[in-house]
Amino acid sequence: MSSSAIDAELGDLVGRESRRRAQTLQLVAGETIASPAVREIMASSLGDTYAEGYPGARYHGGCSVVDEIEELAIARARDLFGADYVNVQPLSGTTAASAVYAAFAQPGDPVLALRLDHGGHQTHGSRANFSGRWFTPIQYSVSVTDELVDYDQIRELALLHRPRLLIVGSPVYSRLFDFEILRTIADEAECILWVDAAHLAGLVAGGAAPSPVPYADVVTLVTHKVLRGPRGGVILGTAEHGAALGKAVFPFTQGAPSVHSIAAKAATFAEAATPEFADHVSAVVANARALARGLTARGLRIVSGGTDTHLAVVDVSSLGLSGIEAQRLLQGAGIVVDKTVLPFDQRPVAEGSAVRIGTPIATLAGADADMMDTVADWCVRALPDPGEHARIRADVAAMLGG
């Protein structure tokens, strides 16, 4: 780092991380690169303003401008996603999730969500998380035959347990959900349909995935990942639930929002409404499918047989590897992925039998479907043979312009 405002020790660490990211191929599905406008706003003086409360009803003085900023962010999100109610204050996806529970459920209430080891999220009822300790998790799963969500099972469980919340969404599941069927199930079971669109939001904004907004009672999302925005959460909902959701965010689950993050969210929503962003998202999905095809052609199995989104889960057990071993081998070749588990995996979560891959950053680096086939070749060569790593690292650096 060249800035004299950063001390030498910390500057060295920041510089090393910047170089690591620049010199390795980032295939982490939950990461992207924030846009220049977002970075500029996040470094602005807006981060110094205290604005507890909502526009027109703050607990602090000097908030007239930030009221306009928040109202702009709300209006842009409403236009982008078509939601009646928008809350841009959640500090993260987890705080947005906390607010949903606070708005619709009481401690001990049953909540129905995808099993964690089949693609569910920690906030969907994991026993290690508040959601699994304060509420009663009921879990649905993917089918053992095709690894797709089993809607008949969801309906069966929903009618049997009458959950307060039916939770949909996954950081690992690579297929699209049928929101119309899920709406019907929620109506039959008389429960709230909550779609956690943390990974899907960018695809929805860019027109590459169907929107859950017309079907769900509430949708949560984050503005990083595919959207290229700041780290932070957003809640979308129907008008009838707006008051409950607003109180659940503030003052129930959090205090003052991050004004600079809200402004950066406003920039993100504007950028996501452009034809350029739609083209980018379309390329991200095309690249994920191309990478999955390339790996399949070279003998690796993709969970559920492919992907409809920006990510895919690759079974590495046929190579005699665990997910964590594959992650380390690929990192040695300059390719960064996440370990994960397979549905019905026999290995512990800390090891897994798969890796999760994603294409947002590779797409921003200019990769196309042909390049993804080359990346698939690198992955297959790197996994069994560390002797190939130096050559692949050089190829990766060349692709990234290093």
Q: Assign residue 324 the CATH number of its domain.
A: 3.90.1150.10
Q: Give the pLDDT of residue 93.
A: 94
Helix (H), strand (E) at residue 187: helix 179-189
Same-domain status, 255 and 106: yes
Same-domain status, 302 and 381: yes
Report whether pLDDT(2) > 60: no
Same-domain status, 279 and 191: no
- Distance between CA 22 and CA 400 in Å, rounded? 7
Q: Give the pLDDT of residue 13.
A: 95
Q: Give the pLDDT of residue 127.
A: 86
Counting residues of the chain whose pLDDT is more than 70, the rounded percentage is 99
220, part of any domain: yes
Query: How does strand 165-168 pair with strand 354-358?
Result: unpaired
Same-domain status, 307 and 182: no
15, part of any domain: no
Domain-terminating residue out of 272, 298, 328: 272
Same-domain status, 110 and 70: yes
Which amino acid, 177? Answer: F
Q: Give the pLDDT of residue 135.
A: 92
Report whether pLDDT(175) > 90: yes
Same-domain status, 228 and 311: no
235, part of any domain: yes
Same-domain status, 208 and 329: no
Residue located via tokens 């095709």: 146
16, part of any domain: no
Strand partners for 311 = 358
153, part of any domain: yes
- pLDDT bin (cut points 50, 70, 90) of residue 4 is low
Report whether pLDDT(1) > 50: no
Same-domain status, 56 and 195: yes
Number of compact structural domains in the chain: 2
Q: Cβ distance 337 to 311 under 8 Å?
A: no
Q: Give the pLDDT of residue 118.
A: 86
23, part of any domain: no
Report whether pLDDT(402) > 80: no
Domain range for 287 = 275-399
Same-domain status, 128 and 113: yes
Same-domain status, 197 and 307: no
Same-domain status, 129 and 257: yes
Q: Give the pLDDT of residue 131.
A: 83
10, part of any domain: no
More confident: 384 or 38: 38
Mean pLDDT of 223-243: 96
Domain-terminating residue out of 230, 246, 272: 272
Mean pLDDT of 312-328: 97
Same-domain status, 294 and 170: no
Q: What is the DSSP string of 133-165?
A: HHSEEEEE-B-TTT--B-HHHHHHHHHHH--SE
Interacting residues of 164 by C-beta distance below 8 A, sequence separation 6+: 104, 105, 106, 109, 110, 111, 135, 191, 192
Q: Cβ distance 382 to 330 under 8 Å?
A: yes
- pLDDT bin (cut points 50, 70, 90) of residue 116 is confident
Domain-terminating residue out of 272, 297, 332: 272
Mean pLDDT of 58-62: 94
Mean pLDDT of 239-251: 97
Mean pLDDT for all residues in the chain: 95
54, part of any domain: yes
> The domain that contains 119 carries what CATH number?
3.40.640.10
